[in-house]
Amino acid sequence: MKMPVEDRELSSHTGYTRRHWEAAADGLLDAAWRWASPGGAFLDLPGRPSASGVRSDGLEGYARTFLAAAFRVAGAEGDDPHGWLGRYADGITAGTRHPGREDAESWPLVLDHDVQGQPMVESASVALSLRLTREWLWDRLDPSTQDRVEHWLRGALRHVPAPNNWYLFPYTVAGFLEAAGRGDAETRRVRERALELLETWYRGGGWYADGDGRAFDQYNGWALHLYPVLDAYLARETSVHGQRLREHLESFSLLFGGDGAPVYFGRSLTYRFAAASSIGLGALTGHTPLVPGVSRRLMSGTLRYFLDRGSVEDGLLSLGWHGPHDASLQHYSGPGSPYWASKAFVCLLTPPSDPLWTDVEEAAPSEGPDTVLAVPSAGLLVQTTGADGIVRLHNHGSDHVRPHEADAAEGEDPLYARHAYSTRTGPTASGNVRDNHFAVVVQGARSVRRRIRPLGAGTGDGWGWAASEHHPVFADGPPMVPGLRVESVTVARGRYELRVHRVVGAPPGARVELTGWATDPEEKSILRALHGWTGQDELRAPQGTAFTRWAVVPRLTGETPGIHAALTSLSLEPLEDVEVTVEADVLVVRWADGAVSRVGFEPLEVSHT
């Protein structure tokens, strides 16, 4: 990928300008098109296929790269020096000529999500790309081709999406059809349905659950906010969704480290710098609390973070985080999946003369003073330390367990079940020791954390807390112990994390374990016992994480009942001495600077003075 010379006067933090974003889009597109089918309907990128099969994967490669081309050309007001839109016009013509056929070019049909679902996702990318480039591509197609494309797209309106952000895919398809003068009662019904569901998923503070459960993750930015806000912008309309994006960015903007990394949290993280799409969207639409120099710092920081760390191999985005990392992938991910990263190029819709591109870069929020911010609606606690630029996300509310699912240990998802995530560490893979995990051990069987019930969260002056409870479940032996529950509290201040747990209803002989951050052996994290622990050791995770090929995880062990408290930190600086006392169900921690933290459980009370 050929990138322009850095501009350290305009962009002192990253060196990137708008020209770097354009070059990145062109480089990714050029490499991907080397793998096109003869008619251009499929981009059959190399790599292991997804669960949907190679034909769906080829459509995915076409549709997701089409997004990058659409943002690139629309942002240049139709200037297309590389001829991208001509290629996509040829591809859509070939792909929709005989949909469903098993030939070299015909696209798969759009059906129900549980039958042949992935094409519904890709139909939204095709529709949005057509809407963005309408005057340069769609309007130049002959009427018969337009009719065929509409017929294929309407499959998304007539079939059942997955019960989450997928409802925004037919919404986006319908939005294009209406913008192209092909709207009707069917398109109106689909759009109304999506917006009604979105209202039920909104939890406040700018955060949506991804469906009827409590999954809060990166899909907030690259899906749940992006589609409705961009739709309103393109239609020149106002809606409540713009204000919600502004509120979302107040907390979400803290989730990027000083090195540009997004917090590694939730599924589909192979989309990488798509995490910056909501930042660019806010700058484009004006629905942002961030000044332009900060927005560009965040966007360019995360783009450069991945380009500098091996995410591109032979010009192609690999399946993983830095480079390939199979252990972190989902079954639905195929070779074209990483190209949802194309959503980050929404920033190119902002004209070159906009302050987003002309203002001088400013420091990211994580590079400023130490910050702790509670997000009670999602049960999350954000902690940043300016000295090292590390961001930690303490999870007391996001569990990815859908309402109809049984609360079984086999469904544990490392991307949601852990107590903490960061911009420098990833969760260990299934089958390895669990990082940032509190387990109850009954007859040798360790519990897992699935459905999480948030108990509260709050922020004070320089500190914050979040609390939750869960019912431990076991993969070995009885799946649950009646009456057994774990109450957990995290108190964050500066670089310290105070983790307090109380087990209720444990059977005789039960033990407990607490693990800390999974790190490279040369960058060990700190986990110090404060109360209730009797043993300490270190375990190995041979599959490593998305950040390191091989990881070590510190562990504390102890017995029940009682309160168990520990102090942990990702910083390599020595921990300060603290004084700890426990009276009844109240833990009191006196810090070296004289501050006092209290955590009580009957009832739950957390304070810091």
The DSSP annotation for 531-563 comes to: ESEEEEEEEEETT--SS-SSEEEEEEEEESSSE
pLDDT digits (tens, 9 = 90+) for 496-536: 999 999 999 999 999 999 999 999 999 889 999 999 999 99
Domain containing residue 481: 371-608
The pLDDT of 571-589, averaged and rounded, is 90
| Residue 166: C-alpha distances to residues 127, 207, 221, 344, 472 (Å) | 14, 17, 14, 19, 31
Whether 550 is covered by a domain: the verdict is yes
Distance CA 389, CA 263 (A): 12
pLDDT at 34: 98
Whether 381 is covered by a domain: the verdict is yes
* 137 and 191 assigned to the same domain: yes
One-character DSSP codes across 574-605: PPPP-EEEEETTEEEEE-TTS-EEEEEETTEE
Looking at the chain, the whole-number percentage of residues with pLDDT higher than 70 is 100
The pLDDT of 374-381, averaged and rounded, is 98
Within 8 A by CB and 6+ apart from 240, the residues are none
Distance CA 485, CA 85 (A): 57
The CATH number for 524's domain is: 2.70.98.70
* 316 and 446 assigned to the same domain: no
Whether 28 is covered by a domain: the verdict is yes
* 525 and 568 assigned to the same domain: yes
Under the banding of pLDDT at 50, 70 and 90, the label for residue 477 is: confident
pLDDT at 371: 97
Q: Is the pLDDT at 328 greater than 80, yes or no?
A: no
The pLDDT of 25-41, averaged and rounded, is 98
Query: Among all chains, which residue has been given the structure tokens 């995915």?
Result: 60
* 487 and 346 assigned to the same domain: no
Q: Helix, strand or coil for residue 59?
A: helix
Distance CA 501, CA 270 (A): 33
pLDDT digits (tens, 9 = 90+) for 231-253: 999 999 999 999 999 999 999 99
* 279 and 131 assigned to the same domain: yes
Which residue blocks in 155-266 are alpha helix, DSSP H?
A: 168-179, 185-201, 219, 226-234, 240-252
Whether 138 is covered by a domain: the verdict is yes
Under the banding of pLDDT at 50, 70 and 90, the label for residue 584 is: confident
Q: Which two tokens stand for residue 114?
A: 């549980």
Within 8 A by CB and 6+ apart from 4, the residues are 17, 19, 20, 23
The pLDDT of 316-333, averaged and rounded, is 91
Whether 13 is covered by a domain: the verdict is no
Q: Which two tokens stand for residue 255?
A: 């989730």
HSE-CB for 336 with a 13 A CA cutoff: 33
Task: Report the 10 Å Cβ neighbour count for 192.
Answer: 12
| Residue 486: C-alpha distances to residues 275, 338, 436, 447 (Å) | 32, 37, 15, 11
- What residues pair up with 492 in beta bridges, in sequence order? 464, 497
Under the banding of pLDDT at 50, 70 and 90, the label for residue 326 is: confident
| Residue 557: C-alpha distances to residues 526, 538, 564 (Å) | 15, 11, 10
Distance CA 237, CA 432 (A): 50
pLDDT at 431: 87
pLDDT at 166: 98
Under the banding of pLDDT at 50, 70 and 90, the label for residue 190 is: very high
- The structural domain count of the chain equals 2
Residue 560 and residue 512 in contact, taking contact as beta carbons nearer than 8 Å:
yes
pLDDT at 574: 85
* 116 and 258 assigned to the same domain: yes
* 323 and 415 assigned to the same domain: no
* 354 and 491 assigned to the same domain: no
The pLDDT of 312-337, averaged and rounded, is 93
Identify which of 338, 599, 602 has the alpha carbon closest to the alpha carbon of residue 490.
599
* 93 and 239 assigned to the same domain: yes
Q: Is the pLDDT at 572 greater than 90, yes or no?
A: no
* 60 and 124 assigned to the same domain: yes
Q: Which two tokens stand for residue 106?
A: 């015909």
Within 8 A by CB and 6+ apart from 308, the residues are none
Taking all residues of the chain, what is their mean pLDDT, rounded to a whole number? Answer: 96
Query: Among all chains, which residue has been given the structure tokens 């912008």?
Result: 233
| Residue 158: C-alpha distances to residues 120, 151, 199 (Å) | 10, 11, 22
Q: Which two tokens stand for residue 151?
A: 């017929």
pLDDT digits (tens, 9 = 90+) for 93-132: 999 999 999 999 999 999 999 988 899 999 999 999 999 9
Distance CA 83, CA 36 (A): 15
Q: Is the pLDDT at 217 greater than 90, yes or no?
A: yes
| Residue at which a domain ends, from 367, 400, 420 | 367
Whether 339 is covered by a domain: the verdict is yes
* 483 and 350 assigned to the same domain: no
Within 8 A by CB and 6+ apart from 85, the residues are 69, 73, 133, 136, 137
pLDDT digits (tens, 9 = 90+) for 396-440: 999 999 888 877 778 889 999 999 999 999 999 888 999 999 999
Query: Among all chains, which residue has been given the structure tokens 């089409």?
Result: 66
| Residue at which a domain ends, from 308, 339, 367 | 367
Under the banding of pLDDT at 50, 70 and 90, the label for residue 274 is: very high
The pLDDT of 30-58, averaged and rounded, is 96
AA letter at 307: L
Distance CA 267, CA 253 (A): 19
pLDDT at 453: 97
Strand-pair category, 511-515 with 438-442? antiparallel
Whether 306 is covered by a domain: the verdict is yes
Q: Which two tokens stand for residue 281?
A: 């969207």
Distance CA 121, CA 370 (A): 39
- Which helix (H) or strand (E) segment holds residue 530: the answer is strand 526-531
pLDDT at 518: 97
| Residue at which a domain ends, from 312, 335, 367 | 367
The CATH number for 270's domain is: 1.50.10.10
Query: Among all chains, which residue has been given the structure tokens 């017929």?
Result: 151
* 164 and 41 assigned to the same domain: yes
Whether 413 is covered by a domain: the verdict is yes
pLDDT at 8: 98
Distance CA 149, CA 98 (A): 11
Q: Is the pLDDT at 189 greater than 90, yes or no?
A: yes
Residue 44 and residue 35 in contact, taking contact as beta carbons nearer than 8 Å:
yes
Q: Which two tokens stand for residue 606?
A: 């957390």
CA dihedral of residues 265, 26, 337, 520 (deg, nearest 10) = -40
